[in-house]
Every structure is written in C-alpha cells, then in structure tokens.
Amino acid sequence: MSVPDPTECAIWWARPIDPATRPDLVTLLDEHERTRLRAFRRPDDAGRYLAAHALTRIVLGERTATHPAGVRFDRTCRCGAQHGKPRLDEPGAPEFSFTHSGDLVGLAVADVAVGLDAEHHRTLSDVASMAEHVSSPVEKQRPAPSSTEEFLRIWTRKEALLKVTGEGLSRAMDSITLSPPGVPAAVLDWAGADAPVGPFWLVDLTPRRRHPAAVAGVGALAPPMAEHDGDAVLRVRAARS
C-alpha cells in the first residue's frame, strides 16, 4: 500500500468481515477493541466493527511507520472516560474518522480534523418528522426533503460535521444550517453560544449505490479527495500474515 499524499483527504472503502474468517485481523486490535468486538450479538455489527478498526490500524500504521497492532489510540472523552472519539496518541499525527453502515465501511485520513459518515439507504418510517427534527430554523422554511435519499444526504453531511468536532450526536443537528438542495454542499451557519468556530469544508460522496456519504473538515477549502479500495488493503494484510 502506497502512503497517500499528505495534502489530500484520503478515503478507503471496504466491506464488513466475519471475525471468524480473519483471526489475523482480530489480533491487530487492542484489548479495548477486542472487548467491544466480542460484545456484539449480531454478526453484521461485528463484521462492520472489525473491518473498520482493522482498516484504520493498517492505514495509520503505514502512515506512521508503525505495526498496525502497535498503533495507540487516545479515546479520552470530555467526561474523562475512554469512550470518546479515538485519536492517535502522538504529537503531529494525522487526523482520521471512520464510519460503517449496511455493507459499507469507510475511513478518512487527513492532516486536519476530519469527519466521515455514510448511511445505507433503507426504509424510514417518517422522513418528514425526522427531517423536522434535524433541520435548523432556516432549513424549516425550505421544502421538506422529497425522498429518503435526499434526507440521508442531509444527515450524512451533518453527522460528518459533528464528527469533525468529536462530539457526534451529543450536539443537536438543528444547530447547523446547510446550503439548500441543488447547490454545492456548504455550511451556512452553526448556531449556539458554544458552537465550533469555522470555517468548515464539506464534500458529498457516493462510494456505492444506495450509500450516500459525506466528508467534512476544518478549513475554508476542501483538499483534493482520493478514494481507495479498502478491501484490497485488507486482502494484502492477509497475504502478509
């Protein structure tokens, strides 16, 4: 695997992996991750978790010249517990964000704080109510999303932005006002006395059919995007084992 250009936002996409078929990937995880992996009751959830975390370790290990099993994460939350957004435990390390939904796993790596989100298209019981819940006052004055896919596109944009800050869904999506449909994705406003200070860039992605996605980061302009085959990275790791 070649080391990505550090001026790019590099993104890898992969499929879930059954832990029983890839013990070599399970051994790359630390005790925290293996405990989480064993706790999943649904095989699909375990498969997404393993692929996302193994891919993250392999890519970041290559980027930092560290064996994947030796990559150390700081998961300290604002409350002090170890369940916050993971970060590399070394100064000057690259920033990263991963996501998993349906049969897709994604990892974004950049030199600035970055957030990645993907959602698989599925039946939603009440798109109108969900859209109302996540829309800012300005967005509520616009026509409601006309389809599930349009709503999921809005959702992925906002969740990617929330991942940049490390807060995730602990901060309400309705504090963010996005550009309207039909124009490039952009953050028009982030309300609230404690709202993060921008600017933020925002880019729509479509890594796979019926899987809308978005990546966001700190800065006025988005860096070049480079999307890669994460399945190939995981296969190469198997060949090395």
Digits of tens for pLDDT over the chain (241 positions)?
A: 655 666 899 999 999 999 999 999 999 999 999 999 999 999 999 999 999 999 999 999 999 999 999 999 988 776 666 667 788 978 788 999 999 999 999 999 999 999 999 998 877 778 888 899 999 999 999 998 888 888 999 999 999 999 998 876 677 899 999 999 888 999 999 998 788 888 999 999 989 888 899 999 999 999 999 999 999 999 987 667 6
* pLDDT of 5: 67
Q: Provide the 10 A C-beta neighbour count for residue 174.
A: 16
- Output the pLDDT for position 75: 81
Place of tokens 């290559």: 62
Angle 125-127-132 from CA coordinates, rounded to 5°:
130
What's the pLDDT score for residue 238? 64
Instruction: Give which of 3, 17, 9, 8 is closest to 235, Cα–Cα.
Output: 17
Domains within the chain, CATH numbers bracketed: 1-112+223-241 (3.90.470.20), 119-221 (3.90.470)
For residue 117, list its beta bridge partners.
214
One-letter amino acid at 152 equals L
User: Of the candidates 38, 89, 81, which has an alpha carbon nearest to the alpha carbon of residue 60?
Assistant: 89
Query: Against a cut of 0.75, is the pTM above it?
Result: yes
Structure confidence at residue 58 (pLDDT): 97
Burial class (CB in 10 A: 0-12, 13-18, 19+), 12: buried
DSSP H helical segments within the chain, as ranges? 23-26, 31-39, 43-64, 127-134, 137-140, 148-165, 230-240
Q: Is the backbone peptide bond immediately before 223 cis, with ω within 30 degrees of 0? A: no
Structure tokens at 41: 């009751």
Of 17, 40, 66, the C-alpha closest to 234 is: 17
d(CA 113, CA 195): 16
Q: Which of 133, 40, 64 is nearest to 52 (CA)?
A: 40
pLDDT of residue 42: 95
